Every structure is written in C-alpha cells, then in structure tokens.
C-alpha cells in the first residue's frame, strides 16, 4: 500500500484532477458521463480524458460504459484504503491530528434538521421537503433551498402535491444563504436532489453534517402534452418518496456518523440504473 500512496497523492495534487475527483465525490454513487464532467468544470474533452486516465491509473476513479457513453465514479474502496493508511501510518492513529471534528460521539438531540438542495428550489427539493414532513413525524424538521432559486414554485409541482393531499400553503422558494449565516439552523443532513446543484463547488457546511446525493431527473425539463409533463413530475415524486421512506426507517439514533453516511449512500443507490437510462 505504501508504494501507491505517493502516486495517488501526486495525482490529486493537480488542481483540475482534484476538481474532477471532488465533483465525483459529491455525486457519489452516480456514474457521471464524461461530457457532463467537461461541461461542469469547463475542461476540454481531450484534456479531461488525460486527467481521467491519470485518476484511473491511480485507482481513484472507475470507468463504465452505458450505451455509447463512458461514465465515471469514485472508487470508494480505494479512497477508504488510502485514508485508512494515512491515518494509521502517517498519523499513527491520532484522531486529533488526522480526523475532522465531527458530532459522531456527541449527543444529537431530535428532531434532526434535514436540508434538500436543488438549483431552482421549485420542484424536486420542494417535493422532498414536503414528503419528509409527511413521512418523518416529529423526528425531523425538513427544509429546502436552491443554489439559484426561481421566484415562483412550479405549478405542476404544486398541483401534484395538492392532489396527493399535502398542504402547500407554507411552501416558498428559498436561497441557500438562509441556511449559511451565523444564526442559521445547522442541518444534521444535507441532500442534493439535482445533479447541477451537486456539480457546484460549494463551501463545506459548518458542523460537517452527513451529506448525500439523491439525484432525480428534472421534471421541469419534460416536454410534450400536459399529461406527459405531469407524468415526469409523478416519477420524480415517486423516486423521492421511496428514498425518504427508506431514510425515515433508519434507526438514526443508534448509528454512529460513519454508519449514517453508509446508510445514506446505500439509499442513493436506489433506482440508480433507471436514472442512468433517463439521463
């Protein structure tokens, strides 16, 4: 192991290769198309190919084929092995030196604050906020925000929520700034439900909440008749409902932070093949 660590660290020492790795980490467990990586990071395809080859040679990134598209994902096993080696060998197991401060060994009082993020905060994150309120009982307080929120919520989204029996009177579009000030609520969990939001390089959240990417295809982009558009919103609603039911069923209070993160990542894998096909 010690023979490959310098190569991996040197690979990540390059600014743009590190940017690719960080984006893939934010999107984990998604398999991200090369074209989307190039567009999100403004890297020429030929240059991106060389960077990805270096990351794969270091066993930090894996490649798979979906039809005619090459897709990339972080090799989480290798990443864990690398970090474990650095912690045990370089730091000699001293957590005060090598591990970030977390709330793993602290008592986190209920209810848990959960923040859902997308770009526009008009449909998917609004669905997630509403669904967690309905499914989570008094264990959770749900919030949502957008990286670039629209001024109005999507009318198809509001009609669907109303048809499902949800109260939509208190819903509104919000910006992430509402959750980032010194007096803002500190979330215990943060989920991106939009690939574009996950692709954005945002500052780390204070308190290091458990994070996950539950990307769902954007129903706002659906075309065709109103019935066809409504079907896209129904699909997004159903995918998020499945994930949120799985999340609320977790015995969060009995799990340490690492186990919470693993459980969140497992939920992110739900229907991932269908998502690849949709994209």
Domain harbouring 138, CATH code: 3.40.50.2300
**Domain check: are 184 and 269 in the same one?**
yes
134 and 208, same domain (yes or no): yes
Query: In this structure, are residues 65 and 72 in contact, taking their beta carbons and an 8 Å threshold?
Result: no
pLDDT tens for 101-119 read: 544 444 455 799 999 999 9
Q: What is the pLDDT of residue 126?
A: 97
Considering the domain architecture, whether residues 34 and 141 belong to the same structural domain is answered as: no
Alpha helices in the chain (DSSP H): 5-12, 15-27, 34-41, 45-57, 76-85, 95-98, 124-135, 155-163, 195-199, 226-248, 257-268, 272-278
Tell whether 116 and 88 lie within a shared domain: no
Residues 120, 89 share a domain: no
On whether residue 101 sits in a domain, the answer given is: no
What is the CATH classification number for the domain harbouring 68? 1.10.10.10
Q: Do the domain assignments include residue 104?
A: no
Neighbours of 254 (CB within 10 A): 8
pLDDT for res 41: 95
Q: Whole domain around residue 181: which residue ranges?
A: 112-278
Q: Tell me what pLDDT residue 272 has.
A: 62
Same domain, 266 and 134: yes
Of 39, 59, 94, which marks where a domain is finished? 94
Return the pLDDT at 103: 46
Residue 106 has what pLDDT?
Answer: 47
Per the structure, how many domains does the chain have? Answer: 2
68 and 191 in a single domain? The answer is: no
Q: Kindly state whether residue 23 falls inside one of the protein's structural domains.
A: yes
Statement to judge: residues 54 and 157 lie in one domain: no
pLDDT at 17: 96
Of 25, 60, 94, the position where a domain reaches its end is: 94
Residue ranges, the chain, pLDDT below 70? 1-2, 93, 95-109, 272-279
Residue 132 sits in the same domain as residue 233: yes
* pLDDT for the residue 108: 54
107 inside domain: no
Looking at the fold, whether 73 and 116 belong to one and the same domain comes out as no
Are 199 and 192 in contact by the 8 Å Cβ rule? The answer is no
Q: Which residues pair with 175 in a beta bridge?
A: 146
Whole-number pLDDT of residue 70: 92
| pLDDT at site 205 | 82
Residues 88 and 118 in one domain: no
Contact at 8 Å (CB) between 121 and 149?
yes
Q: Do residue 10 and residue 90 come from a single domain?
A: yes
């Amino acid at each position: 192991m010690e023979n490959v660590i310098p190569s991996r660290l040197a690979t990540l020492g390059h600014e743009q290769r590190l940017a690719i790795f960080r984006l893939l980490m934010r999107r984990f467990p998604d398999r991200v198309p090369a074209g989307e990586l190039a567009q999100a990071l403004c890297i020429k395809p030929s240059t991106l190919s060389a960077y990805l080859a270096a990351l794969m040679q270091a066993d930090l990134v894996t490649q798979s084929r979906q039809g005619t598209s090459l897709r990339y994902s972080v090799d989480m096993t290798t990443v864990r092995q690398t970090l474990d080696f650095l912690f045990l060998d370089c730091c000699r197991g001293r957590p005060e030196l090598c591990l970030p401060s977390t709330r793993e060994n602290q008592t986190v009082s209920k209810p848990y604050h959960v923040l859902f993020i997308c770009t526009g905060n008009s449909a998917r994150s609004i669905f997630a906020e509403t669904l967690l309120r309905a499914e989570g009982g008094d264990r959770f307080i749900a919030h949502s925000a957008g990286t670039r929120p629209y001024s109005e919520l999507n009318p198809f989204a509001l009609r669907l929520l109303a048809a499902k029996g949800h109260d939509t009177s208190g819903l509104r579009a919000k910006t992430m700034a509402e959750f980032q000030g010194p007096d803002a609520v500190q979330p215990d969990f943060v989920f991106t439900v939009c690939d574009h939001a996950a692709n954005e390089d945002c500052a780390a959240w204070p308190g290091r909440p458990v994070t996950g990417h539950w990307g769902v295809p954007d129903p706002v982009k659906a075309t065709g008749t109103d019935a066809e558009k409504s079907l896209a919103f129904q699909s997004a609603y159903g995918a998020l409902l499945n994930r949120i039911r799985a999340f609320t069923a977790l015995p969060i209070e009995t799990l340490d932070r690492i186990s919470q993160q693993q459980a969140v990542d497992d939920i992110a894998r739900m229907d991932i093949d269908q998502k690849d096909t949709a994209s």
